Amino acid sequence: MATFKRAPVAGAGSNRSSILSSLKATQMIESKPILPAEIISTILDYLPIPDLISFARTSKRMLEMVYEDSRWVQRLNVMGVWNEREARKRFEGAMRRKREMMKMKHEEEAKKLGIGVNGGAGSGAANAGARKTSTTIFDAGVEEERQRRSVEVVNKPPTIRTSVDGFETLTLTPIAKPPIQRAPMLDPEALLNIFSGVKSIRGSARQEYGKIYAALAPFYFDLARSRSHVDPVIFRVYLDPEQQAQMLAHLTIFARSDWAQGWRMREERLVTMIGVFENAVLREFEQGCEAWDVDGKMRRYAHVLGVLNGGHAGIELFVQKHPLFNDRLGNSMDCINQAATDGIALDPSQQFLEKLAGKIKEQSDVIDRVFPKGEDVLQSLLDKVAEDILMEYVTPLFDEAHDRNITSYLKAVAGLFEQSMRFGLSLKASNNSGEDFPAKVEAMVARVFEPHVDLYLQEELDHFKRLAEHEVDDWEKKLSEQEATKESFFMGNFNRVADKKDFLSSFKKVVMMPVNVLPTAMSLPFGAPAPKPTIAPVANRMSLQVPSPLPSPLPSRPQTPGLGSSLPTEAPTDELAAKAALMASKLEGIRSLFSIEVALDLTHAAKASIERAALFVRLGGQTGEEAREQCEAIFVVLLSILGSRHVRTGFDKAVDHLGKYNPREVSEHQQGVAPLVTFLELVNVGDLISQMIDVFYEQQLAATKLADRNDFLDPAVKAKKKFEQMLDERVAAGLNKGIDVLMDEVEYVCGTLQKPTDFNPLPCAPGKPMDFDIGPTAAAKQIVAIVESHTKMLNGSTDKNTLDVFNQEVGLRLFTALCKHLKRQRVSTDGAIALISDMNIYFVYIRTLRNSDLLEYFKALRELSQIYLIEAKHAKELAEVIADGARFGGVFRAEEVYEFAERRADWYTVKRDVERAMYGIGCVAM
Amino acid sequence: MANDEYDFLFKVVLIGDSGVGKSNLLSRFTRNEFNLDSKSTIGVEFATRSIQVDSKTIKAQIWDTAGQERYRAITSAYYRGAVGALLVYDISKHQTYENVTRWLKELRDHADSNIVIMLVGNKSDLRHLRAVPTEEAKQFASENNLSFIETSALDASNVELAFQNILTEIYRIVSSKALDNGDASQANLGAGTNITLSNAVEEGSSKGSKCC
């Protein structure tokens, strides 16, 4: 547009001299009184069919325009009877033939005309157009004729004709086509199926539409004109309500293709007519309903309604007036009233839902009998059931439970949800229910619970947090009461690895037990006679458990072993609890630090909470996601309480004990350094707890897809990592201290147990048998025993790298301690045998650590100890050995070996020779 | 070991090239163990075992030495006070057999001249790899006045017998010598008593085993 405007301005600018020149240049365009083809085409759309046909008769061009296929396809499309795919298939077949024909035609024409392509093309098109008209089946004349005929059949004066009449003479094709051919079309019975005969053919959409028009237009226009509901022809032609409904449905469809002037009025009329008809049918249906005449009136009129417009009105009526909603199936307060104090009984709700399921099953049959295919009546009924019955039942129960007791509230929500879900699953789909019936039912149940989920999840988390904190506090309180009594620890030297494995396997068994929040009766199909709950509330404590025996959530403490035994499902829990108690008794020593039982109780509580909350994950969508997050949150809380509140303090205390240890103050030395043993036991238990958490995570969160194992940003994974890291850090910190303590002990043993005669036996009197004792000395044996018992304790209980570092450090420190110790001894050639034996048992021990670097040090010690074996007369060679650095694998330098050599008992006798030899070797000048 | 009773205490050394199986012979004899992937011995290892000969308890103190020890000063310490030596070679490695003469020379140089030497062809289980014929070794042994046996520490064949034989032989010599000397007390290795081995080729006891 912009360029358009600018052009004349530019022109004006260049020819400023003569203003008029531009005016002269402009041409007056005469507007012809002809509308452009596009507008005509658009107008045509709004013409009533008869006018349209009449219009076609005015000229060939108009005919072409009217007959244009897309115009008719559009109408068919609007009615939903045009199948584009089918049309395309047909069209493609036809195209090939057509192309051949076109080619032939062109050749023919070219031959005929023999001149300019331009003129040839034009006349060719005209020719084609002419031919087309002659080949059409549905053309104006025939259409009109058909209309007339059909109107006549229904004994109605053909009012439409008048408008067409005037043009009748102008028909290009003879109207004299025998109308008898159309006769089958006019059979009222056949008309009922008019739409099923429609074919989608490109190029003949007009004919197809014509057929439909011929069949339905008379009824339609008649209806539009009629004043009252008795008037229309349609009710006279068809007497069966089914047929009437069918026809009315057809007309509704047909009305969509009517957009000529006055369509709104006509459609309104049609709608009111249908409304009147529908009301009448509904009344009949309602009467049927009241009489509960399932196979008679109800069925018949439900089908009529279905044919008419899908039968929504009937379904609504059925659902609204359904007797189901008048029954009182149960009172939700029973759940609270029947349970003992503060408890909640889910049996009444169970019975209630069973009853409801039974009723709905009955109704499902009824619905199948009454309603035609197509409409999911059961679904509508269920929606109402959910809203009016389930919601009414559940909401007050939850509110009441929430007010009374949080624990029972949590159980009620989770339990009822589970029950409802099962209730939903127990429902049988009716014939009309789609594939997604279960999903729909689930969504329905979800809707009922949705308003409660948020509060529930929050409460669940809070409840768990409170419970966990209470547990830990309780334990700490108990501990501080005991604290004063004694601090006796000593481990029973039990088989740690086997015990741990045993404990973990039963832990796994418990964790893996199927989620069973409901009484076992629930798992039976609803129809089956539910076995009477065998367990009746007996004791106060039991009542909490019995109504919904959450098998593991309530860990029966080892102190009360008889409790769970009445419930067979609790057996593994008991087993576990017993093992925990056993474990705890073996770990007497760390009782004051932290308790594996507390850890177990906490995980049990977490398991219960997570299992309950996890039920809601099934809801999917946002609620499901929230439930999932809440599960993770519970896990995180578990870890943070267990980790920072319980385990960490225990470790800190143990490390503190370690720091205070002084071997010289301990009166009685046993096979272990007490605080170190305690600490190492702690590491074991810490590892056990960590493994427990790991199993728990795998089973409860990862296996159930509550948490993604691979998502490192997942809060549960992060919390778990943090927990493990915390544990590792504490272990590392403790080990550092532990090594110090261990070495203190080693040095203490060296100082106290090693006799001066060990390596320097008194020269035996001649002739007197010498006590030729070969083998390690008592001190060496003790040292190895101490170190070994401590390093062994760590095996498998901490991460391998930590262990390696620990072992390496222990080895190195032991080596240093031994060197230091050796330098305090005096060794004779006789004593060398004992020394070598000592070194050999250190070496054997170090070999068990499988650390090759460390082994080098002890190899060097073995080699070193041989210098004491050399007799004084070989002093020269002794010097050589001392100087032989390769012999000691680089561990000792010559100066160091020399220092050791000074510890020979006969050093002062050989010193001169050795020194001479040594410096002699080093200095050529000498 | 001071507490268990014995009538005689003999020190026996295991010598021979590195890798012929000295340590496994020892462990087989003293602990009935065999270690397939044993590393070469560092320095020396000791083990003891008592056996009965003529209702006398003989305690053998066996020194398992490193085959690759280079220092005379150290090897001679090994031999000091030894009354028996098991000179071990590997029947599947001819070189170890060839080195036997060198070991013999070392024994003559450092050990008591009356020391009882037994030539032991170890690894007799490796029949298919045999490089030293039994007869040849036997011939060599008799020429040098050595006893001879083939053993296998792996399948334990003849191990017991080898030690039994050498200890019995030592016992016979020692007890006859003790009788000769009229010394009723125990033969003691370290007690400074001269032990003359009567059937030894060399005449008389040249060196007394000093207190080690």
Tell me the three state secondary structure of residue A854. Answer: helix
Contact B44 A836 (CB under 8 A): yes
For A567, phi then psi, to 5°, come to: -105, 110
B77 touching chain A per CB within 8 A: yes
Q: Sign of the C-alpha dihedral, residues A609, A613, A614, A615?
A: positive
Query: Which ranges of B80-122 does DSSP label H, i.e. alpha helix?
Result: 94-98, 100-110
Contact B61 A774 (CB under 8 A): yes
Q: Enter the tokens of residue A55.
A: 């219009």
Chain-centre distance of CA A857, in angstroms?
56
Contact B191 A766 (CB under 8 A): yes
Q: Enter the tokens of residue A345.
A: 């009984």
Contact A865 B43 (CB under 8 A): yes
Select the residue of B46, B189, B192 nearest A833 (Cβ to Cβ). Answer: B46
Q: Enter the tokens of residue A202.
A: 């490109």
Contact B77 A877 (CB under 8 A): no
Helix H or strand E segment including A141: helix A140-153
A677 touching chain B per CB within 8 A: no
Q: Find the angle CA(A232)-CA(A237)-CA(A238) to the nearest 5 degrees.
A: 100
Q: Sign of the C-alpha dihedral, residues A445, A446, A447, A452?
A: positive
- In chain A, what's the furthest Cα-to-Cα distance? 161
Lowest mean pLDDT among A173-187, A379-393, A693-707: A173-187
Residues of A in Cβ contact (< 8 Å) with B23: none
Q: Enter the tokens of residue A739.
A: 């090594």
B193 pLDDT tier (thresholds 50, 70, 90): very low
Contact A869 B76 (CB under 8 A): no
pLDDT of A628 over the 90 cut:
no
Helix H or strand E segment including B50: strand B44-53
Residues of A in Cβ contact (< 8 Å) with B61: 772, 774
Mean pLDDT of chain A: 72
Tell me the three state secondary structure of residue B58. Answer: strand
B184 touching chain A per CB within 8 A: no
Å between A784 CA and nearest CA of chain B: 18
Q: What is the 3-state secondary structure (H, E, C) of A176-189?
A: CCCHHHHHHHHCHH
Question: Buried b vs exposed e over A747-777: b needs ≥16 C-beta within 10 Å?
Answer: bbbbeebbeeebbbbeebeeeeebebebbbb
Contact B191 A764 (CB under 8 A): yes
Give the span between the Cα atoms of A494 and A501, in whole angstroms: 13
Residues of B in Cβ contact (< 8 Å) with A768: 191
Whole-number pLDDT of residue B186: 45
B127 touching chain A per CB within 8 A: no
Q: Which amino acid is at A761?
A: P
Contact B72 A877 (CB under 8 A): yes
Give the span between the Cα atoms of B87 and B120, in whole angstroms: 6
Mean pLDDT of B143-167: 94
Asked if the interface predicted TM-score (ipTM) of this complex is over 0.90, the answer is no
* Residue A76 exposed, middle or buried by CB count within 10 Å (0-12, 13-18, 19+): buried
Contact A862 B42 (CB under 8 A): yes
Contact B185 A769 (CB under 8 A): yes
Give the span between the Cα atoms of B87 and A39, in whole angstroms: 124
Q: Which amino acid is at A481?
A: E
**Sheet of B8-16, strand order:** B44-53, B56-65, B8-16, B84-90, B116-122, B147-150
Tell me the three state secondary structure of residue A635. Answer: helix
Å between A834 CA and nearest CA of chain B: 10
CB contact at 8 A, A821 and A750 = yes
For A291, phi then psi, to 5°, come to: -80, -5
pLDDT of A855 over the 50 cut:
yes
Which position has the higher pLDDT, A671 or B12? B12
Select the residue of A772, A859, A870 nearest B77 (Cβ to Cβ). Answer: A870
A161 pLDDT tier (thresholds 50, 70, 90): very low
Whole-number pLDDT of residue B22: 93
Give the span between the Cα atoms of A11 and A16, in whole angstroms: 8
A833 touching chain B per CB within 8 A: yes
Whole-number pLDDT of residue A818: 92
Please give the torsion angle defined by the CA atoms of residues A868, A871, A877 and A878, in that order, rounded to the nearest 10 degrees.
Answer: 30
pLDDT of A496 over the 70 cut:
no
Residues of B in Cβ contact (< 8 Å) with A839: 43
A862 touching chain B per CB within 8 A: yes
Residues of A in Cβ contact (< 8 Å) with B46: 774-775, 833, 836-837, 840
Give the span between the Cα atoms of A602 and A471, in whole angstroms: 8
Q: Enter the tokens of residue A448.
A: 């009922």
B201 touching chain A per CB within 8 A: no
Contact B42 A859 (CB under 8 A): yes
Nearest to A842 by CA among A868, A871, A870, A822: A822
Contact B46 A837 (CB under 8 A): yes
> A32-79 pLDDT, tens per residue?
567 787 888 888 878 888 888 888 888 888 888 888 878 888 888 888
What is the distance between the terminal CA atoms of chain A, rounded to a whole angstrom? 116
Give the span between the Cα atoms of A107 and A109, in whole angstroms: 5
Please give the torsion angle defined by the CA atoms of residues B21, B24, B25 and B29, in that order, rounded to the nearest 10 degrees.
Answer: 180
Query: Which ranges of A136-262 does DSSP label H, i.e. alpha helix?
Result: 140-153, 159-165, 183-186, 188-191, 205-225, 234-237, 241-256
Whole-number pLDDT of residue A681: 75
Residues of A in Cβ contact (< 8 Å) with B76: 871, 874
CB contact at 8 A, B161 and B149 = yes
Residues of B in Cβ contact (< 8 Å) with A834: none
For B117, phi then psi, to 5°, come to: -115, 135
Å between B68 CA and nearest CA of chain A: 12
What residue has token string 């045999």?
B130
A203 pLDDT tier (thresholds 50, 70, 90): confident
Residues of B in Cβ contact (< 8 Å) with A848: none
Give the span between the Cα atoms of A808 and A28, in whole angstroms: 108
Give the span between the Cα atoms of A503 and A691, in whole angstroms: 11
B65 touching chain A per CB within 8 A: no
Which position has the higher pLDDT, A259 or A130? A259
Whole-number pLDDT of residue A184: 41
* Residue A215 exposed, middle or buried by CB count within 10 Å (0-12, 13-18, 19+): buried
Residues of B in Cβ contact (< 8 Å) with A840: 45-46
Q: Enter the tokens of residue B106.
A: 């070392």
Nearest to A650 by CA among A689, A691, A679: A679
Mean pLDDT of A271-284: 82
Which position has the higher pLDDT, A307 or A883? A883
Q: Report CA-CA distances (Å) from B184 to A607, A675, B54, B177.
A: 82, 57, 16, 10
Which position has the higher pLDDT, A116 or A162? A116
Q: Find the angle CA(A59)-CA(A60)-CA(A62) to the nearest 5 degrees.
A: 65
> A642-687 pLDDT, tens per residue?
888 888 888 888 888 777 777 776 655 555 667 777 777 778 778 8
- A511 C-beta neighbours (distance < 10 Å), count: 21
Share of chain A above pLDDT 70, in %: 70
Whole-number pLDDT of residue A914: 87
For chain B, positions 3-62, list CB contacts with chain A under 8 A: 9, 42-46, 48, 61
Q: Enter the tokens of residue A777.
A: 């000395």
Question: Which region, left, alpha or beta, applies to residue A311 given φ > 0 means left and ψ of -120 to 50 means alpha?
Answer: left
Contact B2 A773 (CB under 8 A): yes
Residues of B in Cβ contact (< 8 Å) with A880: 71, 73
Q: Which amino acid is at B26?
A: L
Residues of A in Cβ contact (< 8 Å) with B184: none
Lowest mean pLDDT among A604-618, A851-865, B97-111, B116-130: A604-618
Residues of B in Cβ contact (< 8 Å) with A877: 71-74
Q: Which amino acid is at A198?
A: V
Contact A877 B44 (CB under 8 A): no
Q: Enter the tokens of residue B135.
A: 């007869």
Whole-number pLDDT of residue B113: 86
Question: Which region, left, alpha or beta, applies to residue A80 given φ > 0 means left and ψ of -120 to 50 means alpha?
Answer: left
Rounded to two decimals, the pTM is 0.57
Whole-number pLDDT of residue A31: 59
> B43-75 pLDDT, tens per residue?
899 898 999 988 889 999 999 998 888 888 888
pLDDT of A149 over the 60 cut:
no
DSSP class of A775: S
> A543-580 pLDDT, tens per residue?
333 333 333 333 333 333 333 333 333 445 566 666 66
User: For residue B13, what are the contacts with CB-CB under 8 A and spacing of at least 6?
Assistant: B62, B63, B65, B78, B79, B82, B84, B85, B86, B111
Tell me the three state secondary structure of residue B156. Answer: coil
Residues of A in Cβ contact (< 8 Å) with B186: 769
Whole-number pLDDT of residue A374: 67
User: For residue A848, what are the contacts with CB-CB under 8 A and spacing of at least 6?
Assistant: A788
Give the span between the Cα atoms of A173 and A584, in whole angstroms: 107
Nearest residue in chain B measured CA to CA from A879: B73
Å between B154 CA and nearest CA of chain A: 22
Residues of B in Cβ contact (< 8 Å) with A905: none
> B63-119 pLDDT, tens per residue?
999 888 888 888 888 998 899 999 999 999 999 999 999 999 999 888 888 899 999
User: Which range in A235-239, A658-662, A850-854 is most confidently predicted, on average pLDDT?
Assistant: A850-854
A889 touching chain B per CB within 8 A: no
Q: Enter the tokens of residue A431.
A: 């014939």
Q: Enter the tokens of residue B55.
A: 């209702």
Bridge partners of B63?
B13, B46
Nearest residue in chain B measured CA to CA from A858: B42
Contact A859 B44 (CB under 8 A): no
Select the residue of B74, B185, B190 nearest A772 (Cβ to Cβ). Answer: B190
Q: Find the angle CA(A564)-CA(A567)-CA(A568) to the nearest 5 degrees.
A: 115
Q: Enter the tokens of residue A176.
A: 């004299």
pLDDT of B33 over the 80 cut:
yes
Whole-number pLDDT of residue A579: 64
CB contact at 8 A, B200 and B84 = no
Lowest mean pLDDT among A127-131, A271-275, A796-800: A127-131
For testing contact with chain A, the best of B65, B71, B183 (most A CBs within 10 A):
B71
A758 touching chain B per CB within 8 A: no
Whole-number pLDDT of residue A33: 63
Whole-number pLDDT of residue A498: 61
CB contact at 8 A, A828 and A770 = no
Looking only at the bridges linking them, the beta strands covering B44-53 and B116-122 are: unpaired
Residues of B in Cβ contact (< 8 Å) with A833: 46, 212
A906 touching chain B per CB within 8 A: no
Å between A765 CA and nearest CA of chain B: 8
Mean pLDDT of B138-167: 94
Chain-centre distance of CA A142, in angstroms?
65
Residues of A in Cβ contact (< 8 Å) with B66: none
CB contact at 8 A, B41 and B63 = no
Give the span between the Cα atoms of A909 and A870, in whole angstroms: 13
Lowest mean pLDDT among A103-117, A192-206, A844-858: A103-117
Contact A871 B80 (CB under 8 A): yes
pLDDT of A428 over the 80 cut:
no
Q: Enter the tokens of residue B101.
A: 């003469």
Give the span between the Cα atoms of B66 and B61, in whole angstroms: 16
